[in-house]
Amino acid sequence: MQQDLITIKDASKWISGELKKDITPSNISYLVNYGRINKHGNNGDTFVSKEEVLKYYKSYFGNRSLNWKEKLGNDIDWHLSFENYKESETTKHVHRLHPYKGKFIPQLVEYFLDSRTDEFKKEVYFKKGDIVLDPFCGSGTTLVQANELGMDAIGVDISQFNSLISNVKVENYNLNDLDLELRKISDSLKKFISNSRTVNFEKVLLDKLNSFNTRYFPSPEFKVKVKNKEVDEFRYGLQKEKEFLTTYKELIKEFNIELNQFNSDSFLDRWFLKHIRTEIDFVFELIKKIKNPDTKKIASVILSRTIRSCRATTHSDLATLIEPVTTTYYCSKHGKICKPLFSIQSWWERYSKDTLKRLKEFYSLRTNTYQHCFTNDSRTIDLFEATEKINKEFAQKLRTKKIQGIFTSPPYVGLINYHEQHAYAYDLFGFKRRDELEIGPLFKGTGKEAKESYIEGISSVLNNCKRFLAKDYCVFIVANDKHNLYPTIADKAGMKIVQQFKRPVLNRSEKDKNAYSETIFHLKEKNNG
C-alpha cells in the first residue's frame, strides 16, 4: 500500500499520463477535500493512493467530470458542481415550497456567503451579522440561506408573485393555525366533490385504464421490449392510444362530463379542465376567509403549487406547455396510457402536508434575522425609503451599517419570460403583470438590440444598488455569459471583475442533459485597490 501512495502533484502527472487527459493538482485536491478519495499522511505532504485516483476517474462521476471538461474547458471548477448532494438536499426545506425555473441551488449561495475558506475559496466575503442584497430575488434562495447563516437580507423583484414566494419562505408562521386551516379546507373540498359525477367517472375510468395498461403495457416487460427495440414504441403507443380513446369517449358521454370551459380568454380558462377550475375557485374562496394574513399567504402558495400540477397537459410537457390535453394519451414518460387530472384534491393534500413538513425543518435552522423581498424595479428603488415604510428599526440599521454585498443571478438574455411561467397564479390572484419591465426576457430575443438593452438594464441595477452598499462591497453574479456581456456591464457600473468561478450545472430542469456551465463573477469597485 505504501508503494501505491504518491503526492498530489505526482498523482496529477501520473493520472494525466494514464488517461491522456489533463488532470491538475487542484482536481486531485478536490477529490481529497470532498471525500472522493482518502488522504494519507499527517505531517508535511499529503499523499493519495494511485489505485483510488484511477478508480474514481474510471467511475461514472469521474468519467462525467472528464467528459464535461472536454466540452466546457479545463478551467471549469468541479468543486462547485456539488455532485455529492442528492436532489433532496439541493431542494431542502423551504426551497421547494413552489417550483421556479432558473433558480440556483442553496449550496452555491451558502458556499460564497459562508465564512469558511478552502483551497479554492481563499477569502471570506461575508460574515455573520452582515446585510446581503439580491436585486433579482426570484424565488428567494439568497434570502433563505442568509437567514440560515445569521445574516440579514433584502431582495427586490419586478414580479409580484416572485416576491410572494420569497417572503412566504422566510416568514415565521403559527404552524398550529396553518395546520388547522389546511385541514378545514381539505375536509370542505372532500365534501364538495363527494357526490360529483366527475369523481365517480374518474373511478370507473381508472379501473378500465388499469386493466388496459396491465394487458397491453405490462411493467417492466414493455419498457424492456422498448429498450431492446423489440417494439416500435411510438407506433404501438399511438395505436393503443386510439384504441382506448373509444372507451374514454363512451365514459365521457355516459357520465355527462364537461371537459372544456366556456371560453379560453385567460390561462386558467385554457389550461384547466372545467371541474378542476371549479375546485380551484372553491378552495380559493375558502382561503380568502382565513383571518391570519400570514396563514392566508402560505395557503395561497400551496394552492398555486397545486394548480401548477393540475394543468391540462401531458406528464412530459408539464414544465413546457405545448397544447391543452383533455383526453387519455400514450405517455412515453411512464410507458403506458395516462389520463388528465379531474380533481385537485390529492395534490392539495400532498402539498399541504409537504409544506408543513418543510416549514418545520427550516424552523430548526432559522436564525433571528431579518429578510424581506420588495416588489419593485431594482434600477430605481430607494432601499432606504422602501425599508422605512415597513420596518423603521431595520431601516435605521440599513442606513448605518449599509449592505455588505450582493449575491444574485440575473435573468439570462432571451431565456425565460418570468411572468409567463406563473401565468396561472397571476390570473388566480389578480396580480398586476409587469412583463415590459423584465430585463432580458425570452420575448425580446437575443439580437443586438436585446443585448444592448440587457447591458443597460443590468448595469443600471448595479449603479442604483451601489448607493446602499458598504465601501468595501463584494458583488457576486451568477450568469451563463455566452455573449460576453459582463465585462461591459461591470465597466458601465464602475466595477471591475476581480475573479471568476466557472461551475458545471449538473442537474438542470427540463429535458436538457447536455454539458452546461455558468460563471460566478466576483465584482468590486473599480477605483478600490
CA distances from 232 to 217, 222, 245 (A): 13, 11, 20
Domains assigned to the chain:
2-58 (1.10.238), 87-165+366-525 (3.40.50.150), 175-358 (no CATH)
Place of cell 416500435: 232
Can you say whether the dihedral through the CA atoms of 507, 512, 515, 517 is positive or negative? negative
Which pLDDT does position 44 carry in this prediction? 66
Q: What pLDDT was estimated at residue 60?
A: 66
What local confidence, expressed as pLDDT, does residue 509 receive? 52
The position carrying cell 471570506 is 124
Tell me the average pLDDT across 473-494. 95
Give me the chain's average pLDDT, please.
90
* Range with the poorest average pLDDT among 58-62, 418-422, 468-472: 58-62
Own/partner contacts of 482-487, CB < 8 Å, gap of 24 or more, are 483/413, 483/446, 483/451, 485/413, 485/451, 485/454, 485/455, 485/458, 486/519, 486/521
pLDDT at 529: 55
Which 3 state secondary structure label does DSSP give 200? helix
- pLDDT reading at 344 higher than 70: yes
Identify whether the C-beta of residue 154 lies closer than 8 Å to the C-beta of residue 395. Answer: no
Q: Could you give the CA distance from residue 283 to residue 491 in angstroms, rounded to a whole number? A: 51
**pLDDT band of 348, cuts 50, 70, 90:** very high
Compute the Cα dihedral for 445, 449, 451, 456 and give only its sign: negative
Q: What residues contact residue 348 under an 8 Å CB cut-off, 6+ apart?
A: 185, 186, 189, 283, 302, 303, 306
For residue 517, the cross-strand partners are 504
Residue 40 per-residue DSSP state: B
For helices 293-308 and 274-288, what crossing angle results, to 10°?
170
Average pLDDT over residues 101-130: 91
Percentage of the chain lying above the pLDDT 90 cut: 61
68 has a pLDDT exceeding 80: no
**496: helix, strand or coil:** strand
Give residue 254's pLDDT.
95
* Residue 208: per-residue pLDDT: 96
15 close to 57: Cβ distance less than 8 angstroms: yes
Which has the higher per-residue pLDDT, 195 or 52? 52
Whole-number CA gyration radius for the chain: 26
Residue 458 has pLDDT above 70, yes or no: yes
How many C-beta atoms lie closer than 10 Å to residue 395's C-beta? 17
Work out the pLDDT band at 33, boundaries 50, 70, 90: confident
Amino acid at 127: K
Whether residue 513 has pLDDT greater than 80:
no
432 HSE (CA, 13 A, CB side): 6
Which ranges constitute the DSSP H helices of 73-172?
Answer: 87-90, 106-113, 141-148, 160-170
Q: What percent of the chain has pLDDT over 70?
A: 96
